[in-house]
């Protein structure tokens, strides 16, 4: 989703801004643009539909020199993706330029009011309203730019991260955020601004995360100043960034997605590291240990998340109910936040989010927090909005995930949820020490087992060739394999654009079996667990109707092998962790089908990595 970059300092801004836009490409976008203030105060704007490469080609024939600038990648919400709607947007006089990530819900009313005052609009965006409003306030009251920005933001309903530059003012950027991410990088005599730390990491490891409702002034003369919406000074807390450039590169892989799939043996180790005691008998999660009364007293647990993180949450539900004997509900954050749910003090809400910036999950967290629940975050991005809005949590520590399709974050989330269930189960006395020790053994075996699956990745690539031209896919599983089936289907549809549905295998008979014919590949996760025999019956029902079965089975399975058209073998683990192992070949299957179809795997159409609008 929209990406923001800004620079002010002693270097030429444009090369830094362009590199930053490339770093943010993974978020998804359809147009890009830049505004630079030259040394003589001239404000130069250049923008176009399409990729950052196109903007760079355009900028090469425009003069975009200057040491102060802001740049943007836009993921269209209001108005189609075209040159006109691309950011930056300028005020009526042309004296101010703004970039914005978020949505202004009351833009239509504001636009009407400004039009009545004679302001003309050049785009269909909600963003243009903000810059016109800033200029209107300043023209009417003669106040400073920062006061006008504060005044305009006070009129807005919605979410924003904005950055504003001004003609004639080659020494200042004003930025602000509410419910949309923004990071400030602090260098020597220079400042950086971005939607996340990836454009900043090669210049400085000192960052400031402005809080919701704060306004940041970056000035060459006066340094960094942070104030709130009332104009009060806020403290500036500089944090150290733990991110390296090598983590942001493809490292020889053709796509980030493939690199991230292959990183999983290491990322699962990172998720477990330091959380299992030396005797391999206890899980130690500080976020649980420090809040033991909350978990002991929990009447129920509600998990909120979106997309892949929601699938991990479903697995978390099964684990926590089984091991902690406490009722768990898993909610789509977007539904939860708008349906007035019963949330009371004493409830524990677990928010799962890779990016930590998903607008619906953040809003769900804020609502539940407002109603007195204890909020525990399972996030990847350190210092992200959701991580900061929670009372406590456990990071998954899988490193930056750049491919739009989530892979290593999913396996990291399931790993952490397993440790959470074990820690809370032990705390509540609902699982024995022996049970925990046995599960720790399985957890510690995961990295090697994933490496084993990846060593046979070529077999999945071969298999994928048979299905490149399939038009529909079904993914089935029961028990812990059901969320893994949902996740397998989501991976395929989002990057290959093949229609794919995940279903609980037994639900087939209640409708979807009508779709099965000889054209229909059906992926069935049939690992050995309490419902293995039942899954075999479901496979027979599909075969009887001519369906083509691709079965994910334990390496020593003999029964399903005799019935399925194709098998993908995975090592044996406990049922709780089988979704981690099953998801790896399904990620590869989706990847290779998408590559065979010539899809843009890392940046699939219409999708954004970080969904910062609801
Ligand atoms: C799918 C995918 C999305 C995200 C969803 C939530 O591959 O990546 O479905 O899982 O947008 O994102 P986070 O986890 O960042 O809250």
Chunked mean pLDDT (size 10), the chain, 614 residues: 94 97 88 95 94 94 94 88 92 96 93 93 94 96 95 94 91 93 95 94 95 94 94 92 81 93 96 89 94 95 98 98 97 93 93 95 95 96 90 94 96 98 96 96 97 97 95 95 98 97 92 88 93 91 92 94 96 97 98 97 85 77
Which atom, in ligand 1's list, is nearest to the CA of 361? 16
Ligand 1 centroid from CA 68, angstroms: 34
pLDDT value, residue 28: 79
Cα 259 → chain centroid: 17
Cα 102 → chain centroid: 15
Which atom, in ligand 1's list, is nearest to the CA of 611? 11
Strands 96-104 and 89-90: antiparallel
**162 - beta bridge partners?**
100, 176
**98 - beta bridge partners?**
89, 164
Query: In 465-585, at which residue ranges do the beta strands (DSSP E only) sit?
Result: 472-477, 499-504, 521-525, 548-554, 566-570
pLDDT value, residue 1: 76
Contacts of 383 by beta carbon, 8 Å cutoff, 6+ apart = 183, 207, 209, 239, 356
Torsion 354-355-360-365 (CA) sign? positive
Give CA–CA dist 309/421, Å, rounded.
Answer: 16
Active site members: 2, 609
Least Cα distance to 477 among 412, 414, 513, 524 occurs for 524
Tell me which residue has its CA closest to atom 11 in ligand 1.
307
Residue of 354, 413, 606 to mutate, ligand 1, most atoms within 8 A of C-beta: 354
Give CA–CA dist 404/494, Å, rounded.
Answer: 9
CB-based contact 504:477 (threshold 8 Å): yes
Cα 303 → chain centroid: 17
At 131, phi and psi to the nearest 5? -70, -35
Ligand 1 centroid from CA 606, angstroms: 14
CB-based contact 143:137 (threshold 8 Å): yes
Which atom, in ligand 1's list, is nearest to the CA of 311? 10
**332 - beta bridge partners?**
305
At 101, phi and psi to the nearest 5? -125, 125
pLDDT value, residue 548: 93
| CA atoms within a 13 Å half-sphere pointing along the CA-CB vector of 6 | 33
Cα 199 → chain centroid: 17
SS3 572: coil
CB-based contact 199:169 (threshold 8 Å): no
For tokens 């785009």, the residue is 123
Ligand 1 centroid from CA 352, angstroms: 10
pLDDT value, residue 29: 86
Tell me which residue has its CA closest to atom 5 in ligand 1.
307
Could you tell me the pTM of the whole model? 0.84
At 142, phi and psi to the nearest 5? 70, 20
According to DSSP, residue 383 is labeled T
Ligand 1 centroid from CA 134, angstroms: 34
SS3 144: coil
Alpha helices in 245-285 (DSSP H): 256-262, 264-272
Strands 89-90 and 348-353: unpaired
Strands 392-393 and 374-379: parallel
For tokens 């490409």, the residue is 25
Which atom, in ligand 1's list, is nearest to the CA of 358? 16
At 177, phi and psi to the nearest 5? -145, 145
pLDDT value, residue 325: 96
Residue of 255, 306, 408 to mutate, ligand 1, most atoms within 8 A of C-beta: 306
According to DSSP, residue 356 is labeled S
* Structure tokens that stand for 489 in this block: 């289907």
Packed helices 578-596 and 433-454: angle between N→C axes, nearest 10 degrees: 20
Ligand 1 centroid from CA 354, angstroms: 7
Question: If phi over 0 gives left and psi between -120 and 50 gives alpha, with beta otherwise, what is residue 20?
Answer: alpha
| CA atoms within a 13 Å half-sphere pointing along the CA-CB vector of 50 | 9
**175 - beta bridge partners?**
163, 216
Residues with CB under 6 A from ligand 1: 306-309, 353-355, 358, 361, 405-406, 490, 494, 611
């Amino acid at each position: 989703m929209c990406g923001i970059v800004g620079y002010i300092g002693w270097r030429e801004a444009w090369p830094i801004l362009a590199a930053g836009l490339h770093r943010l490409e993974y978020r998804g976008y359809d147009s890009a643009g830049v505004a630079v203030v030259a040394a003589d105060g001239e404000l130069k704007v250049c923008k176009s539909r399409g990729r950052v490469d196109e903007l760079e080609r355009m900028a090469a024939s425009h003069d975009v020199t200057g040491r102060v600038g802001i740049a943007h990648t836009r993921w269209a919400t209001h108005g189609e993706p075209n040159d006109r709607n691309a950011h930056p947007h300028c005020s009526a006089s042309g004296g101010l330029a703004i970039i914005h990530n978020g949505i202004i819900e009351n833009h239509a009313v504001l636009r009407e009011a400004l039009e009545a005052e004679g302001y003309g609009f050049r785009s269909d965006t909600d963003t243009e309203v903000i810059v016109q409003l800033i200029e209107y306030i300043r023209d009417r009251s003669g106040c400073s730019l920062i006061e006008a920005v504060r005044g305009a933001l006070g009129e807005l309903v919605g979410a924003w991260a904005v950055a504003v530059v001004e003609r004639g003012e080659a020494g200042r950027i004003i930025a602000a955020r509410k419910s949309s991410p923004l990071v400030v990088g602090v260098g020597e005599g220079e400042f950086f601004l971005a939607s996340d730390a990836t454009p900043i990491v090669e210049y400085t490891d000192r960052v400031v995360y402005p809080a919701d409702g704060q306004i940041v002034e970056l000035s060459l003369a006066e340094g960094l100043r942070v104030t709130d919406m009332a104009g009060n000074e806020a403290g500036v807390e500089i944090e150290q960034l733990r991110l390296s450039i090598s983590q942001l590169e493809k490292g020889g892989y053709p796509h980030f997605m493939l690199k991230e799939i292959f990183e999983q043996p290491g990322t699962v180790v990172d998720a477990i590291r330091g959380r299992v005691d030396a005797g391999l008998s206890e899980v130690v999660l500080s976020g649980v240990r420090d809040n033991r009364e909350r978990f002991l007293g929990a009447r129920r647990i509600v998990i909120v998340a979106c997309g892949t993180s929601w699938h991990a949450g479903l697995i978390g539900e099964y684990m926590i109910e089984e091991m902690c004997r406490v009722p768990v509900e898993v909610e789509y954050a977007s539904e939860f936040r708008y349906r007035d749910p019963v949330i009371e003090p004493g409830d524990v809400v677990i928010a799962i989010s890779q990016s930590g910036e998903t607008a619906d999950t953040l809003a769900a967290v804020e609502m539940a927090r407002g109603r007195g629940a204890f909020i525990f975050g399972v996030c990847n991005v350190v210092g992200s909005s959701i991580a900061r809005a929670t009372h406590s949590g456990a990071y998954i520590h899988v490193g930056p995930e750049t491919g739009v399709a989530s892979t290593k974050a999913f396996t990291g989330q399931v790993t952490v949820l397993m440790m959470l269930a074990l820690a809370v189960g032990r705390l509540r006395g609902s699982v024995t020490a022996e049970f925990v020790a046995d599960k720790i053994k399985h957890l510690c075996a995961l990295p090697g087992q994933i490496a084993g699956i990846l060593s046979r990745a070529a077999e999945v690539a071969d298999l994928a060739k048979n299905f490149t031209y399939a038009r529909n896919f079904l993914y089935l599983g029961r028990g812990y394999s059901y969320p893994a089936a949902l996740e397998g289907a989501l991976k395929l549809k989002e990057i290959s654009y093949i229609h794919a549905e995940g279903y609980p295998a037994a639900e087939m008979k209640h409708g979807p079996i009508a779709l099965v014919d000889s054209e229909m590949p059906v992926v069935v996760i049939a690992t050995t667990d309490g419902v293995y025999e039942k899954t075999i019956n479901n496979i027979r029902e599909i075969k009887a109707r001519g369906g083509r079965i691709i079965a994910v089975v334990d390496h020593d399975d003999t029964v399903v092998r005799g019935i399925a058209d194709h098998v993908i073998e995975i090592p044996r683990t406990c049922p709780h962790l089988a979704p981690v192992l099953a998801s790896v070949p399904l990620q590869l299957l989706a990847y290779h089908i998408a590559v065979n179809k010539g899809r843009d795997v890392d940046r699939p159409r219409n999708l954004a990595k970080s969904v910062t609008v609801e």
